[in-house]
Amino acid sequence: MISSFLKYLLSCLIPAAFLAVVLAGTAGCAEKVEPDTALASARKRMVENQLKRRDITDKRVLRAMETVERHRFVPADMQSSAYDDGPLPIGEGQTISQPYIVALMTQLLHLKGGEKVLEIGTGSGYQAAILAELAGEVYTIEIVPSLGKSAEVLLKELGYDNIFVRIGDGYLGWPEKGPFDGIIVTCAPEAIPQPLLDQLAEGGRMVIPVGKQSQELVLVEKKGGKISRKDIIPVLFVPMTGEGVKRK
């Protein structure tokens, strides 16, 4: 039996433990976070104020954005800002994109379920998690080993068994797993990489930021073997790096 005094002590200690977070490893993200009603409320406000009030109308995308806990994918000391309307640093000179941009890029793919999607630039794994809620399989490539390994561990911990992480040069894509119904690129090359165009399936869509000093988010579609391109909005992403970029 637990004494009344001991019960009192436990009742004082539990709220403090409830708020504690565990500092992450190489990527600086929290490994485990207890359920937090404040963060859940912030996530709902993010969907209502940042997404629905703009041009995000796909109900499946909105549901995925409300389901995936973005605070799991940011550094522990930034979790209170996880649902703010902007990008956040995740270490190694990389960022997690603004929620609106994640939702917009995902919506542009027109995912219906069951698709095979390629992501270039895993980062902390947030975009991959959103895609995994909507597609059949997600293949994601990260050029920074520490980020890729940390993201892979976190995604497995969260139960995503349809996400496959690879450390490598995203410019070259993942040809042995293609073609892909959708491709999302979260780093900006100066021109659209030909290997990614080659790995885009017939009827597929690719969303990619393109440019150096001035960047534009571009929607690419492949129909009848022909490529069409449509500029969406100005953006600012970290530049694409790797040997593929140097050799182009």
* Cβ proximity of 49 and 170 under 8 Å: no
Full strand arrangement of the beta sheet holding 116-120? 163-167, 137-142, 116-120, 180-185, 200-211, 215-223, 226-235
- Catalytic: 97? yes
81 contacts 95 by C-beta, under 8 angstroms: no
Integer Cα distance of 33 and 171 in angstroms: 34
Residue of 97, 150, 214, 228 marked catalytic: 97
CA nearest 120: which of 231, 237, 246, 230? 237
CB 120 within 8 A of CB 186: yes
Q: Assign residue 44 a region: left if phi > 0, alpha if psi is -120 to 50, beta otherwise?
A: alpha
Rounded to whole angstroms, the Cα distance separating 187 from 210 reads 8
CB 43 within 8 A of CB 70: yes
For the chain, what is the radius of gyration of the CA atoms? 19
Return the SS3 of 90: strand
Q: Could you give the CA distance from residue 241 to residue 94 in angstroms, rounded to a whole number? A: 12
Report, as residue numbers or ranges, the catalytic residues: 97
